[in-house]
Every structure is written in structure tokens, then in C-alpha cells.
Amino acid sequence: MKKSIKKPEPIKSAMKAYNNREFLHSKDGRIIRMISEYLYPEQRLKRAGIKRTVIFFGSARFKAREDVLNETNEQKELLKTEKSAAKKNEIKKAIKELELKLKLSKYYEDARKLSYMLTDWSNGLEKKERIHISTGGGPGIMEAANRGAYEAGGKSIGLNISLPFEQVPNPYIAPDLNFEFHYFFMRKFWLVYLAQIMIVFPGGFGTVDELMEILTLRQTGKMHSPKRIFLYSSKWWKNVINFDFLAEMGVINKEDLHLFKFVNTPEQAFKLIKEELSENHLEKRF
């Protein structure tokens, strides 16, 4: 006689894979996360009717002139009342550093002004022809560009990335155009994909990385956008990179020097960008 086997208790339906958070955040779910960082921004940008952008790159460490002046005044007030010689030296050092930041705040203010001018001009175009300012979404030059667009009454894009420092969304991004990325390569894709113009302000490793990557893609014909690349402040960039020397040594072609153009004021940059967009961007997508 067969031994009786107890009937098992009913079990719940298994969780669907796309609702399984543990799986989605596992190594095996990585490809789904990557695809999500492509599809989600695409959906939201389409809904917002955004077809073309001007991207701003530059240091995350530059500050608004007003903020630097306020910090300087605070330090000077502390210096007046401080008794400790050691702490006085610390305050003097901080003031010295703020003097440099004040000089560099020029780039923040110039980016803010240029973004304002571009957005104000774009607001006068038909809705389907408008361009939008796009940035990496953080502080410094990114904040300045988003801020200029905000002050001109426009909506701008912020493409943030999760980092241990520096990268916090600035308050001037349009809330419905604020994105947070995990993967650098997908963030870079969305920075460039809709870009008609790229303007690169002074910056550090990250700024140079973005510039060189896009110059390489344009040089090799892997991309045809952004159509024009502007380097803001010829003095800065010629000190950082000797492009002429690279051409002289034959590691780039002389024709590659035409991939970018130097600009030195918001007015000059606005004039050239406006001319370029007016001639080439209407109902075109690179």
C-alpha cells in the first residue's frame, strides 16, 4: 500500500520579473537598467516637444559673483573679531582663495547671460522651432546656464548623474526635465543626441573629457552633431591645450582645427550661435 502524501498548501503567484526589485538591481538586470535610461528620457523629452538643444559644459566649481562677494564679506567680518593668530591666518587664506573665485565667477556670469540671450531669442520662435538649454544639471556653469534660461522664462534640461560629491540638481532646472542617471555613457548620449550647438566653458577633468570625446566623434565621422562647437575664452583653452601644436606634429589634421571656434564674450557667442541655428536648425535633426 502506497504511503499517503500530504497535499501541499496553495502558494501565491510568483512575482513578475519587471516588478522584482531585487532582480532589476542585480547584475543580471543591468541591461534592463541601461535600456530604461534610454527609453525614459526619450519618452519625457518627446512629451515636452523638445527636438533640439544647445548644451553647456564647464566647471562645477565656479560660483555666482554675488555669492562669492557675500562669502568674502563674511570672512572679512570674522577677521575683524578673531583673536587667535592661527585662525586669522586661516581666514586670510580663505579670503585669498575667494579672490581667485571672484575672478572665475566671470565665467558663471557669462554663461548665465548667454543662456538668457539664447532662451529669450528662442522664446520668440514658433514652438516647434524652439531650442532648449541642456546641461549636466549640477552646480557651477551648469547652474549658470539653467539659471539664465529660467530667468528668461524658458524651460531647460538637467541631466544629472549620481556622484559622491559636487553633483546635486540645481534649482533652475524645469522639474519635468530633471533627470538622474547612473550610467555615464547614457547620460553622455542624451547630452549630445539632440544638440545642435555645444559651448564649452573653462573647466577641469570632466569638461576636458566631454570636449575630447565629442571632438573625436566629430573628427572620425561617427557623429554629425553638435554641428558647431564653441570654446569659451580663447586665453583659457589655448593655455590648457595647444591645438596648433597637435596639428603641427601631425597627430591631428589642420582641418580638424575647424571643428571648433573660440568665442570670448556672451555677445559674440550669441551672434555666432544664432546665425548657425537660423541657417541650419529649422526643421532639421542631425
pLDDT in tens, 114-150: 999 999 999 999 988 899 999 999 999 999 999 999 9
Q: Are strands 178-181 and 157-161 parallel, antiparallel or unpaired?
A: parallel
CB 173 within 8 A of CB 157: yes
User: Average per-residue pLDDT in the chain?
Assistant: 91
pTM over 0.85: yes
Residue 267: the pLDDT is 98
CA gap 62, 173 in Å, rounded:
18
Residues contacting residue 228 through CB under 8 Å, at least 6 positions apart? 196, 197, 198, 261, 272, 273, 276
Residue 283: the pLDDT is 46
Confidence bin at 282 (pLDDT 50/70/90): low
Q: Is the pLDDT of residue 11 over 90?
A: no
Rounded to the nearest 5°, which phi and psi values hold at 21?
-60, -40
Which amino acid makes up residue 275?
E
Confidence bin at 233 (pLDDT 50/70/90): very high
- Strand, helix or coil at 242? coil
Q: Is the pLDDT of residue 85 over 70?
A: yes
The yes/no answer on whether domain 48-64+105-280 falls in CATH 3.40.50.450 is yes
Residue 149: CA atoms inside 13 Å, Cβ hemisphere, count? 28
Which run of H or E residues covers position 160?
Answer: strand 157-161
Confidence bin at 285 (pLDDT 50/70/90): very low
Mean pLDDT over 50-65 rounds to: 95
Which run of H or E residues covers position 270?
Answer: helix 266-280
Mean pLDDT over 245-265 rounds to: 96
Percent of the chain past pLDDT 90, that is, above it, reads 72
Nearest one of 262, 205, 276, 199 to 233, comparing CA atoms = 262
pLDDT in tens, 159-198: 998 877 656 899 999 999 999 999 999 999 999 999 999 9
Q: Is the pLDDT of residue 61 over 50?
A: yes
Which amino acid makes up residue 73?
N
Nearest one of 73, 75, 57 to 65, comparing CA atoms = 73
Domain boundaries, the chain: 48-64+105-280
- Strand, helix or coil at 233? coil
Percent of residues in the chain assigned helix, strand, coil, to nearest 5: 55, 10, 35
Residue 27: the pLDDT is 93
